[in-house]
Structure 1
């Protein structure tokens, strides 16, 4: 399809609007990571308020049961998977811009709703309503995944498209850091303002603190609402799906700061949509391999990535041993501080290594390297875990653990978000990205629930925790190796090519 407006997009110089689009599109990913990483310290506050059990040891006395924690995580992930499927399809049927504002609205309102979880006296009632709002939050976040990736890919030029989409995804790193920072600030303010005595381990206003932390996650997303509503529809959707080339040229004149006369054709060739419907035999013959590769890669990655996030609970116990009992604010503060250190030292650098190298090395090489290095690191942690790490965590352990996040983000965690936005035709692009992402969230549910079961089952039977951890980590290494095989055998490289060149490959 030799439309001038699409050629202008592919060759356009980097402009201010591209950076503005990164911020706008990245707020959904920011909210996603904020919501995920504020949960560990919040569960500490919730446990202190609602789960005190005098019959248990000091270590277990205030702990929210692992089954409850995994349920809270799984509910949000289920909502995210459904949101990716529904909003991904709507993005192709209705348009990217029209659906974009709806997903943001759901995110903002449900984030606020999490803080207003009602029935404050019974833990089951509070966490039930919190789970409902987190499910709604997951719907909004899930809708943002395919729309953000698709919009950024359709606005970017072909030389720096990977870096722009990776920059959108890197907003997750800043969401993690912000969640940790907000938690530390809120806990410090409440700790100092409450004048808590050393004996008062569960101050009354702790129930307010965790609600404020959750609601503050809605603020950055809300600030981008006007920008989202003022964004034009992407030229590729307007020209290739709606078949309105003139309107696409008008919209791009506002975005690219180029005169419309430079890329308007007097008699433009009429874009013809693919003559085959979604999920037809022709679709699977041409795009089935790509959809399978994207879905399986994301599925395998999220099993590992979300398991690794939940593994932090083990890290906290080893790196934050309690010589004496402390109040809820200090406990939550220390957990958030450790999260912030990991984010600054490994998570955020991993994202930005991808931003820099993605259009130099390529998607497939980065994804394969990430899977391979993660597999090695998990083996290095898992095989000697029982003898070396389980009783005496040290700096070497933290370095290895941080490397799992670095190579996840300088690897498949970022590339699985990028590649589905580049491989499929415009009329299927958002849908296929949503399907790939939903497969990933299915893996995340399996990883989060399965990992918690594996690491706690043996402990509840009286065995040391390491007996459950060692096989779990080795299994995660094996999953990474399967992801490496899928990447090398089935994933196509998209670097340096226009979206139309990628979608026209007849495989």
Structure 2
């Protein structure tokens, strides 16, 4: 039999949009701004690292990072992120969301600065130090995913909850955009300070000694927004759902939310203490498997598949743009000019497609629902990937490059007006409060496993063009073409696994997690539905 909702939770569900909602979005969102900046700014400077530390004066060509070093530099932060998502997700349910929220931010601040200060007399020691600090940077970033999503979902009202959580995630787009802008400004400043002849565009594509400062400044800049929000994170009260449902302190929950909502909320300690103990199953219990097993499979699989495609595209835009000739050959640019060219290309993509995609989701997620947006996004990503890959030689012709860039941009638009946002939102809504942060962390970690597959796999696939050209006579770029075909298949699989994810639009968190249901009612319902929520409604 369904239990009556606690007054403090009902007050949150029906609360009108207030100033504290926007405050929470900014505080949590700035973490994601920093996350995106730190994760994606490395792609702006990897070619510069190759020129500085792996240049061979004897061959007359710009230096490049060896494949194993490039894979490590690009992918090590994802390994740290995966670990952080699992650890801090679990810790957020054990200690509370707020108590560990500051830890993740300080980890990001310290490691951003330390990454830019990577030291050593030889290239190997510098790269090793950089990878070490980027792993721990990723560890802090990983904690931000489950904590920010859970905090925002537990603060929001049920009418606009999807938009609020999506708005937190949308700050990622501004982080990507800012990374490109910072790289443009820093490279322009150094280019002005150290003009020709240091920047003669000969075959050696000169790399001045001062270029070593460029990548360090770009990486360290990520510490600034994180540091600016630390104080405000520590001022946020613990969420009422954690305090009441997990910590079992209804009095504190009512006091916190009375202050936040500026209304009187009655403390209902007796209701909290008499909640059905049989409804307090654990993550590895048969009851969890019956209620939420398919849901967790849906959130983990779709996030895994999405991130293979999304992070491959983001991290290796520079390789794709070089392959189609949108960015000139490295031998025709100085090292800092190359940073500027790559940053401009990525900033243009972010401005025209990535950022708008995020905010389309914010505006429409509570109107058409999570399921419809995710299905639509995966569908169009599949279509555009195949449209780029199948006639790939057509797009590499210089007269067709603009068309390639437009279609490539549309894959970013529908990734963000699609599964990149919804895979973040849904796991924060459909699991019980005592397991919400943990399950979101597991789902996000599955996504980062996909990012690792994408970052390492795409790197080797894209670089296979040189071997295929030499050994089999294939045209340049065949590795990029095959990679786009694989990503098209991955997106198609995402369409299929989306059908495991329930629609949470317009429902309270307790409705989705069934925390207010008695054991008898839940058991009979699950026997009828086979453990899966069959009440999905997709507005058309």
- Asked if these proteins are the same fold (TM beyond 0.5), I'd say yes
Q: Any unmatched runs of 5+ in structure 1?
A: none
Match of 2:39 in 1: 36
Secondary structure of 1:427's aligned partner: helix
SS in structure 2 of the partner of residue 369 of structure 1: helix
Q: In the alignment, what sits opposite 2:88?
A: 87
CA deviation after TM superposition for structure 1 residue 300, in Å: 0.6
Distance in 2 (alpha carbons) for counterparts of 1:314 and 1:101:
37
Name the CA distance, whole Å, in 1 between partners of 2:477 and 2:116: 36
- Whether 1:21 aligns to 2:24 is yes
Shift in Å, 1:259:
2.8
Bigger drift between 475-484 and 366-375 goes to: 475-484
For the residue of structure 2 that corresponds to 1:52, the secondary structure is coil
User: Does 1:464 find its partner at 2:475?
Assistant: yes
1:188-203 mapped onto 2 (5 Å cutoff): 188-197=188-197, 198-199=199-200, 201-203=206-208
Identify the residue that residue 101 of structure 2 maps to in structure 1. Answer: 100
Whether the 8 Å CA contact 2:309–2:454 is kept in 1: the answer is yes
RMSD over aligned CA atoms reads 1.8
Q: 1:49 to 1:466 in 2, by over 3 A?
A: closer
| Corresponding residue of 1:54 | 57
Q: Where does residue 176 of structure 1 map in the other structure?
A: 176
Asked if 2 retains the 8 angstrom alpha-carbon contact of 1:196 and 1:203, the reply is no
Q: 2:258 touches 2:264 (CA, 8 Å); kept in 1? A: yes
1:132-171 equivalences under 5 Å are: 132-171=132-171
Q: Which moved more, 1:384-393 or 1:456-465?
A: 384-393
CA contact (8 A) 1:455 1:465 kept: no
Task: Compute the displacement of 1:195 (Å).
Answer: 3.6
Normalising to structure 2: TM-score of the pair?
0.89
Q: Which of 407, 411, 431 matches 1:404?
A: 411
Displacement of 1:329 in angstroms is: 1.8
Count of equivalent residues: 501
Aligned mate of 2:428, from 414, 421, 426: 421
Residue matched to 2:244 = 239
Worse-matched range after superposition: 125-134 or 29-38:
29-38
- TM-score normalised per structure 1: 0.95
SS at 1:495 equivalent: coil
For 2:456 and 2:402, the matched residues in 1 are separated by 28
Kindly report which structure 2 residues correspond to 1:365-404, keeping only aligned pairs within 5 A, or say none. 365-389=372-396, 394-404=401-411
CA distance in 1, matches of 2:301, 2:64: 35
**2-side partners of 1:114 and 1:196: how far apart?**
30
**Shift in alpha-carbon separation, 1:390–1:425, aligned structure 2, 3 A:** farther
Contact 2:180 2:346 in 1 (8 A): yes
Supply the distance in 2 between the matched residues of 1:407 and 1:31 (Cα, whole angstroms): 23
Using the alignment, how far apart are the partners of 2:405 and 2:305 within structure 1? 24
Structure-2 change in CA distance of 1:323 and 1:47 (3 Å) = closer
Deviations 1:174-201 (A, max 9, x none): 0011111111111111221224423482
**CA deviation after TM superposition for structure 1 residue 266, in Å:** 7.9
Match of 1:348 in 2: 355
> Separation in 2 of the partners of 1:222 and 1:323?
36
User: Aligned equivalents of 1:326 and 1:293: distance in 2?
Assistant: 46
Instruction: Give distance in 1, aligned partners of 2:108 and 2:59.
Output: 38
Residues 250, 269 of structure 2: 8 Å contact kept: no
* Higher alpha-carbon deviation: 193-202 or 415-424: 193-202
Deviations 1:30-89 (A, max 9, x none): 12211222112212322222111234464xx22223332221122110100000000000
Stretches of 4+ aligned residues off by more than 6 angstroms: none
- Superposed CA offset, 1:434-460 (max 9, x none): 000111111111111111112212423
Check conservation: 1:37, 1:180, Cα contact below 8 A: no
Match of 1:481 among 489, 492, 495: 492
